[in-house]
Amino acid sequence: MDNSIIFAVGGVILGLVMGFIIAKTLEKKNASKLIKEAKKNAALILKEAKSEGESIKKDKILQAKEKFIELKAEHEKVILSRDKKMAEAEKRTRDKESQVSNELSKGKKLNDNLESKIKDYNHRLDVLDKKQEELDKLHKSQVQQLEVISSLSAEEAKEQLVESLKGEAKNDAMAYIQNALEEAKLTAEQDAKKIIINTIQRIGTEEAVDNCVSVFNIESDDVKGRIIGREGRNIRAIESATGVEIIVDDTPEAIILSCFDAVRREIARLSLHKLVTDGRIHPARIEEVVKKTKKQIEQEIIEVGKRTVIDLGIHNLHPELIKMVGRMKYRSSYGQNLLQHSREVAKLCGVMAAELGLNPKLAKRAGLLHDIGKVPDAEADMETPHAILGMQWAEKYNEKEEVCNAIGAHHDEIEMKSLLAPIIQVCDAISGARPGARRQVLDSYIQRLKDLEDIAFGFTGVKKAYAIQAGRELRVIVESEKVDDQKAADLSFNISQKVQTDMTYPGQVKVTVIRETRAVNIAK
């Protein structure tokens, strides 16, 4: 049994070996077949590749030949265009050469003609010189013959002729002057009236509306009590600080401010407006607001001056003169607002100067500045006539001589030296003399109030003086360090006696002297 197993195992192994050998043999045969087939395929592929390469080579050669032919054609075109341009350039060059040769030939002909003309001209000059010499000789011989005949030399004859011509010219000139004067006398007055009437007709004017009272409107009557204050202390503080009389009566929702000085009234009005708007009304606050309002008014005066000179087209005016022009807004002349009057005179002067053929801008300048002497800075300036004072200020601030002379001469204080001066005088008269322009009574009234204040300022120790209640009361504020209570009483008596002896006035004038002592300390 064991032997059968061994034989079986051996048979299996032998079968396996034989199968392996047979499989290897078959595999080699298959591999040789595959190699042969691959060689055949490779040979076919190589053959096909060679045929394709030949065809591609032929195509590329054909393309190269076509490209060469195209490039050759383009090159031939470029060469042809260059040849054409060169031919055109050669043609233009030949044309220019021919043109230049023609110009040269023409220039040569012109030079020949010019030389011939110069020769002819020189010949004629020689002939003229000879003829001139012959004429001079003939003239000398004729003069000598005339001198022999008339027994006078040539110089003597000339003198006699000149004298006779002078006499004739003088007679003709006198006759012409006489005729011109006669004609001027006949037409001067008519022409002057025509110019003045045309000037007046071209100016729009206003009537005098200035007065000595301003009305301050309030929202309710409750505000009146706050303005008056406890025992009237607020209203006294306002009157003391501004110099304006505050009238609080039964007029509903209104308080009356009375003062002849428009600047004081405006300061009081603006101060009251600020106080009422702010709501804090007491003496310290009143003084603070009044000080600020005074500065505001000064700035407003400058702005008014600037606007005025810009409106009138006046340039390069000194800042101090601009300030004086602004101050004229708060001054009046015989009830006529001084700034409106000066603007009106400036416009009239510009129109009249244009009609007469003069400089209208210079005339406007002189017309605006002609009354600046009516707004003096100091009391000493009030003694100088306003025309002279205005001229001095204009000279001080480098105004032109014609302008200065026109300002100083418009009331005949000095001699008129230019045509500008009578124009200013005439236009000033036109502005002031028209109906409704001025009020003589108002101006005299304002002057009386100013004189009343000036009397108070003439005493030592007086700090402020205000004429109020239409001149029926003079309120004087003194310096407490210099004037005691006894001197205050004496001062009141002395001022009243001075007013009584030096002034003429209706009714009575009450003199009130106010002396106030303050003690101020600051806690830090």
User: What pLDDT, on the 0 to 100 scale, is given for residue 207?
Assistant: 42
Three-state secondary structure readout of 123-190: HHHHHHHHHHHHHHHHHHHHHHHHHHHHCCCHHHHHHHHHHHHHHHHHHHHHHHHHHHHHHHHHHHHH
Which burial class, exposed, middle or buried, applies to 90 when counting CB atoms under 10 A from its CB (0-12, 13-18, 19+)? exposed
List the CATH code of the domain at 215-291: 3.30.1370.10
| CA atoms in the 13 A half-sphere facing the CB of 427 | 36
Question: What would the two tokens of residue 264 be?
Answer: 């004081």
User: What pLDDT, on the 0 to 100 scale, is given for residue 315?
Assistant: 86
Cα distance between residue 362 and residue 371, in whole Å? 16
Query: 389-411: per-residue pLDDT in tens?
Result: 889 888 888 888 988 998 888 88
List the CATH code of the domain at 299-433: 1.10.3210.10
Q: Which residues pair with 475 in a beta bridge?
A: 466, 512
Which burial class, exposed, middle or buried, applies to 424 when counting CB atoms under 10 A from its CB (0-12, 13-18, 19+)? buried
Query: 194-239: per-residue pLDDT in tens?
Result: 666 666 555 545 444 445 667 777 777 777 777 777 777 888 888 8
pLDDT mean across residues, the chain:
81
Dihedral over alpha carbons 255, 261, 262, 263 (to 10 degrees): -100
State the pTM of this model: 0.47
User: Integer distance in angstroms from the first to the last C-alpha of the chain?
Assistant: 143
| CATH number among 3.40.228.10, 3.30.70.1350, 1.20.200.10, 3.30.70.3400, domain 440-515 | 3.30.70.1350
User: What pLDDT, on the 0 to 100 scale, is given for residue 298?
Assistant: 86
Contact 512, 236 (CB under 8 A): no
User: What pLDDT, on the 0 to 100 scale, is given for residue 208?
Assistant: 41
From the list 439, 9, 512, 486, the residue with the least C-alpha distance to 209 is: 439
